[in-house]
């Protein structure tokens, strides 16, 4: 009779984590980088912004394979780097974002996520808008698609 004790079988979440691809890791890094750039646009991340980011991370489908805890850990590490060396953190985050340039759908989803993070604290201020415009430039995504600039004509 086969052993029906399944307590050693990995749970579904750990199986998902074992199935991630390098492409998933690139997208993960880009999302974390974009979120950190937007959240840190005004120079700091408030407790309320972090709480809303936690909610947002739970809802971002592209992060599901990693889970919100891993996303928050990566976000916190990047924010800590911003606090120590803002220029290096910005460079690292933008380099991670740039890796999605050749993936138009992922790039657009990233900009949409960044817009959602910018609006999460109840507003979309000028510093956040400038960051999202910079993301559009890095990714070759037309900002007009996200109503960041007025349409011509």
The enclosing domain of 84 has a CATH number of: 1.10.3680
The pLDDT assigned to 7 comes to 41
Instruction: Label residue 151 by pLDDT band (50, 70, 90).
Output: low
Total structural domains within the chain: 1
Task: List the domain range (segments joined by +) for residue 116.
Answer: 20-146
Task: Establish if 8 belongs to a structural domain.
Answer: no
Residue 115's SS3 state is helix
Task: Establish if 62 belongs to a structural domain.
Answer: yes
Task: Establish if 3 belongs to a structural domain.
Answer: no
Cα–Cα distance measured from residue 67 to residue 53, given in angstroms and rounded to the nearest whole number: 13
What is the average pLDDT score of the chain? Answer: 82
Between 102 and 10, the more confident residue is: 102
Q: What pTM value is reported for the model? A: 0.80
């Amino acid at each position: 009779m086969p052993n029906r004790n399944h307590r050693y079988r990995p749970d579904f979440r750990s199986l998902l984590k074992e199935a991630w691809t390098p492409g998933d890791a690139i997208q993960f890094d880009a999302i974390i980088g974009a979120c950190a750039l937007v959240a840190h646009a005004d120079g700091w991340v408030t407790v309320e912004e972090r709480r809303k980011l936690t909610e947002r991370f739970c809802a971002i489908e592209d992060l599901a394979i990693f889970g919100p805890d891993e996303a928050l850990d990566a976000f916190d590490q990047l924010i800590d780097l911003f606090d120590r060396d803002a220029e290096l953190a910005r460079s690292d985050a933008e380099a991670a974002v740039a890796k999605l340039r050749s993936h138009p759908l992922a790039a657009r989803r990233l900009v949409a996520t960044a817009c959602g993070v910018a609006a999460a604290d109840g507003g979309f201020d000028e510093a956040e808008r400038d960051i999202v415009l910079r993301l559009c430039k890095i990714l070759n995504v037309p900002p007009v698609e996200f109503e960041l600039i007025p349409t011509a004509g």
